[in-house]
Amino acid sequence: MSATDSPPRPERVGRSRRGWTLFSLRGVPVRIDASWFVIAAIVTYIFYARMSVTLGASGPGIILGSALVAALLFFASLLAHELGHAFTSLDRGLPVLGITLFLMGGVTESTREAKTAKDEFVIVGIGPFISLVLAGAFALAHAGVQPTQPFAAIFGYLAWTNLLLAIFNLVPGYPLDGGRLLRAILWGATGNPHRSTRWAARVGQVFAGALIAFGAWVLFRTQGGFSGLWEIVIGIFLFRGAAEAHARARLQERLATLTAAEVMGSMPPILDPQLLLHHAILELETRPSLVWAVGDPLVGTVSLPDVDAVPRRLWATTALAQITHDPSRSTIAAKESMTEVLARIVEAPRQQLVVVDGDRPVGLLTPSLVTEPTRRDR
C-alpha cells in the first residue's frame, strides 16, 4: 500500500514518533509501529498452526522454527512490496518519507503525489507485481525441495500468501493498490486527479462496507466465535482511509483555484536578524504558536521552540540569524497555487509557511487557514 515538501530528513536507528527505525535504504527509513508486534504474533501463530498439521511428525522445535522462518520471510516479502513503491517513487523524483510496517500491513509515505497518471500507475502497480513475482519464486522453490522437508511447507505457504497479498491489493478498494490503480486509470481518462480520487474513494467505501457486512455475517453465523472479526477490522480501516482520501481530494479541488496570496493571513512583526535571543524571546512569547519571519529581505524563519533549544547561557550572545530555518523549507511564493501549499506545509517547520513576494515576507499560512476555504463552502 502506498500513501502520499522537503527532502526526507535522515533518521537515526531507534525509537521516533513514527515508530522504531530499523535501517535506511536509499535514504528511506524503514520503521515498525508498535502495532506491528500484534500482527507479527498473529502471523507467527497462524504459521505455527499450519505447520503443526503439515509437519506434525517433525517435533515442536522444528515446527516452531519453521513458523518463525515463515513469518520472517512473510514480512520480508511485505517489505519488498513497499520498497518497490518507495524506489519507483524516488526514480520518478518523488521524495519518500519512509516505510512503516504496522497492524494492517505496510505503508509507503511520499511527500507529494505523482505528477502524471502514468507515473501513478507505475508506482502503485509495482507493489502487487513484486508480490506476484515472489509468489512464483516461492512456488518454484517449493517444487525444488523434498515434500517432507520443512522448507517445502515454508515455501508453499509463502507462495500462497504472496499470491493472496497481490490479489487482495488489486481489489479496487481505495486506498489499496487496486483502488489507486483505478484512480490512475480515471485520472488518465478524465485529466482530473482530484475528481478521480473522489470517485475511487467512493468505490473504496463500497468495498469496505461490503467487507464489514461480510465479516459481521460470518461473526454472527459462528455464534460466539471470532471468525469474521478480522474482516470487520480491515473494512473499518479501509473505510476510514477512503473517507479521508475523499475529503482530502475535495479540499485539493477547491484549493486548486486559489493562490497563497488569496488565503494567507497576517503575520507577526518581522524580526531583525541581529536581534539577540534574550531580547527576541520577549517578542516570540507574545505569539508562541506562530512562525516568525526574520529579516526584510527574508533571511529565514524562527519560532519559540527554536530559541528554547538553545542553552540559556548563550542567549545573550546568539543572534536570530544563527538559528533561523532555511527559507527553502519554510516559505512559499505568493503566486503559488494552494495545491502546492498543501503539499509543502506538512513538512514545514511547525506546519506553517511564510508567504513571500520575491524575497519580502508578506503573510503567513497555517493549517487552519489552508482548510478555511472548504469550511466556508459547507
pTM here is 0.75
As for how many domains the chain has, the answer is: 3
Residue 291's pLDDT is: 93
Indicate if 266 and 212 belong to the same structural domain. Answer: no
Residue 101's pLDDT is: 93
* 188 in a structural domain: no
- In terms of C-beta density within 10 A (0-12 exposed, 13-18 middle, 19 or more buried), how is residue 331 classed? buried
Indicate if 124 and 214 belong to the same structural domain. Answer: no
Residue 252's pLDDT is: 82
Range of the domain at 347: 260-377
Query: Annotated active-site positions, please?
Result: 82
Indicate if 233 and 264 belong to the same structural domain. Answer: no
> Which H or E run contains 357?
strand 353-357
* Residue 145 CA: distances (Å) to CA of 58, 65, 73, 140, 154: 16, 18, 17, 9, 11
Average pLDDT on 279-295 reads: 93
CA distance 100 to 180: 19
Confidence of residue 226 (pLDDT cuts 50, 70, 90): low
What is the domain-level CATH number for residue 350?
Answer: 3.10.580.10
Task: Answer yes or no: is pLDDT of 148 > 80.
Answer: no
Confidence of residue 300 (pLDDT cuts 50, 70, 90): very high
Task: Answer yes or no: is pLDDT of 129 > 90.
Answer: yes
Indicate if 156 and 12 belong to the same structural domain. Answer: yes
Average pLDDT, the chain: 88
> Which H or E run contains 80?
helix 60-91
CA distance 224 to 134: 37
- For the ranges 3-7, 158-162, 164-168, 270-274, the lowest mean pLDDT is seen at 3-7
Indicate if 215 and 115 belong to the same structural domain. Answer: no
Task: Answer yes or no: is pLDDT of 142 > 80.
Answer: yes
Q: First-to-last CA distance in the chain?
A: 32
Average pLDDT on 111-116 reads: 85
Indicate if 147 and 209 belong to the same structural domain. Answer: no
User: Position 360: which residue type?
Assistant: R
φ and ψ at residue 280, rounded to 5 degrees: -65, -35
Confidence of residue 225 (pLDDT cuts 50, 70, 90): low
- pLDDT for 17-49, tens place per residue? 567 899 999 999 999 999 999 999 999 999 999
Indicate if 267 and 251 belong to the same structural domain. Answer: no
- 135 or 60: which carries more pLDDT confidence? 135
Could you tell me what percentage of the chain is helix, strand and coil, using 3-state DSSP and rounding each to the nearest 5?
A: 60, 15, 25
Indicate if 41 and 157 belong to the same structural domain. Answer: yes
Residue carrying C-alpha cell 516452531: 64
